[in-house]
């Protein structure tokens, strides 16, 4: 058996941050338990398209807890606060 030829040219690294499947983290709304739509990360979720919001609240131990809110619950909370 002979060794297979190894290409000597350089190959550009593939941007495997996108669409590789390992990035599919689904957030859950802490208010209604709805799972976030699968996207390409937090930026997409927070965007106008989905309208999710990430709130940061102190956890009482010097750290913070991140909580996701879907668009509906966020609007509800906003309305409750203003009126
Ligand atoms: Zn919700």
Q: Residue 70 in contact with residue 30, Cβ under 8 Å?
A: no
Q: Is the pLDDT of residue 80 over 90?
A: yes
Q: Which residues contact 2 (CB under 8 A, 6 or more apart)?
A: none
Distance 76 CA to ligand 1 centre (A): 9
Q: Is the pLDDT of residue 7 over 50?
A: yes
Q: Which residue has the higher pLDDT, 21 or 75?
A: 75
Distance 21 CA to ligand 1 centre (A): 25
Token reading at 49:
């398209």
> pLDDT digits over 27-68, tens only?
899 999 999 887 667 778 888 888 999 999 899 999 999 999
Distance 68 CA to ligand 1 centre (A): 8
Q: What is the pLDDT of residue 52?
A: 93
Task: Report how far residue 71's alpha carbon sits from residue 54's, in angstroms, rounded to the nearest whole number.
Answer: 11
Q: Which residue has the higher pLDDT, 58 or 26?
A: 58
Distance 35 CA to ligand 1 centre (A): 8
Q: Which residue has the higher pLDDT, 25 or 71?
A: 71
Distance 78 CA to ligand 1 centre (A): 13
């Amino acid at each position: 058996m002979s060794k297979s030829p190894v290409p000597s040219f350089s190959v550009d690294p593939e941007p495997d941050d996108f669409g590789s499947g390992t990035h599919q983290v689904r957030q859950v709304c802490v208010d209604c338990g709805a799972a976030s739509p699968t996207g390409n990360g937090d930026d997409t979720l927070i965007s106008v398209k989905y309208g999710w919001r990430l709130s940061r609240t102190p956890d009482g131990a010097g750290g913070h807890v991140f909580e996701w809110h879907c668009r509906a619950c966020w609007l509800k909370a906003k309305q409750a606060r203003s009126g």
